[in-house]
């Protein structure tokens, strides 16, 4: 197992990562919200967003990322994303349509706006759930001890190098 501190001493990586991470996160949001006009959508956006945060963790240490997004928060967001998706469907039922019938979300006009609103809301749910799941998977991997036996340990790999947030 390579100690993460070696990575963190590389100035090129740090500078490039610092420049790239915000762009990646922004691109994730773009893919999320532009998904109904062009290629993209919740799943891809979630993966890109989580990938940006994971690059951040790889260069600056898991502890730094954990301060931004805790493990418990990823679990909550996973559930919240799914619930958002389901809630849109149930809301449509309350408004008189079938489950996930977005037309019912807009009873005033012909339903065109309902389709729009519905797809944006459920894709947001997908994006949140996917991003959180990928981060949780990452946390689960780095949380394991190198020799691989026993329970996942919550102070993750790299913690003994003392944080690393710059």
Partner 1 sequence: MIEKILVLEVVLPLLAAPVCVLVRHPRLCRLFSLGVVAVCFAIAVAVLLEVRGGGVISYQLGGWPPPLGIEYRVSTVNAYLLALVTAMALVVMSFDSRGGPPRVPEQRRHLYYAVFLLCISGLLGITITGDAFNIFVFLEISSLSSYILVSLGGHRRAVMSAFYYLVMGTIGGVFFMLGVGLLYQVTGTLNLRDIAARLEPSLDDRGTVLALALLVVGISIKLAVFPLHHWLPNAYSFAPPKVSAFLAATATKVSFYLLAMVLFTIFGAPFVFEELRLQAVLLPLSILAMFLASGAAIFQADLRRLLAYSSVAQIGYMTLGLSTANATGLAGGLVHLFNHAVMKGGLFLVVACLLYRVGSVHIDALAGIGRRMPFTSAALVIGGLSLIGVPGTVGFVSKWYLVSGVLERGWTAAAVLILLSSLLALVYVGKVVEAVYFRKPAETQPIDHVREAPLGMLAPAWVLAVAAVFFGLTTNWTYGVAREAAELLLAGGI
x/- binding map, residues 102-141, to partner 1, per CB under 8 A? xxx-------------------------------------
Please report how close the Cβ of residue 132 comes to partner 1 at its closest, in angstroms: 11
Please report how close the Cβ of residue 166 comes to partner 1 at its closest, in angstroms: 32
Please report how close the Cβ of residue 72 comes to partner 1 at its closest, in angstroms: 8
- Where do we find the tokens 């389901």? 86
Assess contact for 8 and 166: CB atoms under 8 A.
Answer: no
Can you tell me the distance from the alpha carbon of 147 to that of 63, in angstroms, rounded to the nearest whole number?
21
Please report how close the Cβ of residue 155 comes to partner 1 at its closest, in angstroms: 16
CB neighbour list of residue 20: distance below 8 Å, 6 or more residues apart: 52, 55
Q: What is the DSSP letter of 61?
A: -
Can you tell me the distance from the alpha carbon of 65 to that of 33, in angstroms, rounded to the nearest whole number?
24
Nearer to partner 1, 64 or 95 (CB): 95
Among 26, 29, 93, 165, binds partner 1 (CB under 8 A): 93
Rule CB under 8 A: say whether 90 interacts with partner 1: yes
Rule CB under 8 A: say whether 143 interacts with partner 1: no
For residue 163, give the nearest of 74, 60, 68 by alpha carbon. 60
Assess contact for 132 and 77: CB atoms under 8 A.
Answer: yes
Please report how close the Cβ of residue 65 comes to partner 1 at its closest, in angstroms: 21
Can you tell me the distance from the alpha carbon of 138 to that of 41, in angstroms, rounded to the nearest whole number?
22
x/- binding map, residues 46-85, to partner 1, per CB under 8 A? -----------------------------xx-xxx-xx--
Can you tell me the distance from the alpha carbon of 111 to that of 122, in angstroms, rounded to the nearest whole number?
17
Rule CB under 8 A: say whether 86 interacts with partner 1: yes
Positions that interact with partner 1 (CB under 8 A): 75-76, 78-80, 82-83, 86-87, 89-90, 93, 97-104
């Amino acid at each position: 197992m390579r100690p993460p501190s070696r990575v963190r001493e590389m100035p090129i990586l740090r500078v490039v990562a610092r420049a790239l991470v915000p762009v990646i996160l922004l691109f994730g949001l773009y893919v999320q919200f532009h998904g109904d006009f062009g290629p993209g959508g919740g799943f891809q956006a979630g993966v890109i967003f989580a990938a940006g945060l994971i690059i951040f963790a790889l260069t600056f240490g898991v502890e730094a990322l954990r301060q931004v997004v805790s493990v418990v928060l990823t679990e909550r967001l996973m559930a919240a994303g799914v619930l958002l998706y389901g809630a849109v469907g149930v809301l449509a039922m309350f408004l008189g349509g079938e489950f996930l019938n977005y037309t019912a979300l807009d009873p005033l006009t012909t339903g065109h706006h309902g389709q729009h609103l519905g797809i944006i809301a459920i894709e947001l749910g997908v994006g949140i759930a996917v991003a959180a799941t990928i981060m949780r998977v990452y946390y689960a991997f780095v949380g394991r001890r190198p020799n691989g036996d026993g329970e996942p340990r919550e102070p993750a790999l790299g913690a003994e190098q003392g944080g690393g947030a710059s």
